[in-house]
Amino acid sequence: MRLSAPVYRLKRQARLLSRGEGIPLHQALDRVAAIEGFAGWSLLAAKAAEAQPAGNLFARLEPGDMVLVAARPGQGKTLLSLELAVEAMKAGSRAVFFSLEYTHTDILGRFRAIAIEPADFNGLFEFDNSDAISAGYIIDRLRTAPRGTLAVIDYLQLLDQKRENPELMAQVRALKAFARESGLVLVFISQIDRAYDPSTKPFPDLGDVRLPNPLDLSLFDKTCFLNKGKIQFQAAPA
């Protein structure tokens, strides 16, 4: 059953109903759930969690994490990354999307594809498509960002495009040190090598990440590989 609105909006409706009619919030939540066709709010929330894997993934992220989201084109890695940004904003944290691939209009369209209006989050979302994007630029841009801010870098390989930038390994190491120091979560969208053959294994893995130049992929704390609507999540060994 498809919800008429994202869960955070339904919760907002319930809070307004609770205040407007002077009823306990749990009763208001159940009434909203009934309108959506569920016997109670807990059933609605459970169904929503099944349909929104990003919520489960976000719950497994910690401040300071470096996360790799990788897939072949068209498998949903950008949408998953935006959904993680939405989860951060639902939790009251800021989200920033760095890209040399998309325009602001493009990203707003992607948000609407998952029934989200960034304006609903009271200025928590920022978009940056500066030509100067690099590790140093990202660090400067996020220097004063509050702990828990989630930043998406679209995509990992763009850091390797300009000769004047430091080598990719140095940039990712600098970003890892910065994430740990500042308590930010950095999500890197990554390309997968064209040689990956889904008929031989259901998901790509670290060996399939396209790397024109060397990079120690153990710098990433968590990985998400996508294929055919499914996600394989893995945390690096402690």
Domain range list for the chain: 7-51, 53-235
- Calculate the average pLDDT of the chain: 91
Q: Is 160 left (phi over 0), alpha (psi -120 to 50) or beta?
A: alpha
CA atoms within 13 A on the CB side of 86: 28
Whether the per-residue pLDDT at 8 is higher than 90: the answer is no
* Closest to 94 measured CA to CA, from 135, 128, 51: 128
- Whole-prediction pTM: 0.80
Task: Specify the CATH class of 53-235 in words.
Answer: alpha beta
d(CA 77, CA 163): 27
Identity at 178, one-letter amino acid code: F
Indicate if the alpha-carbon torsion angle 207, 102, 105, 178 is positive or negative: positive
Whether the per-residue pLDDT at 64 is higher than 90: the answer is yes
Q: Which two tokens stand for residue 61?
A: 């992220």
Identity at 62, one-letter amino acid code: E
Q: What is the 3-state secondary structure (H, E, C) of 23-83?
A: CCHHHHHHHHHHHCCCCCHHHHHHHHHHHCHHHHHHCCCCCCCEEEEECCCCCCHHHHHHH
Whether the per-residue pLDDT at 180 is higher than 90: the answer is yes
Whether the per-residue pLDDT at 7 is higher than 80: the answer is no
Contacts made by residues 176-183, CB under 8 angstroms, sequence distance 24+: 176/66, 176/219, 178/139, 178/142, 179/64, 179/65, 179/66, 180/64, 182/64, 182/142, 182/143, 182/145, 182/147, 183/63, 183/64, 183/147, 183/148
Give the mean model confidence (pLDDT) for residues 190-202. 94
Q: Tens digit of pLDDT for each residue in 210-230?
A: 998 999 999 999 999 999 888
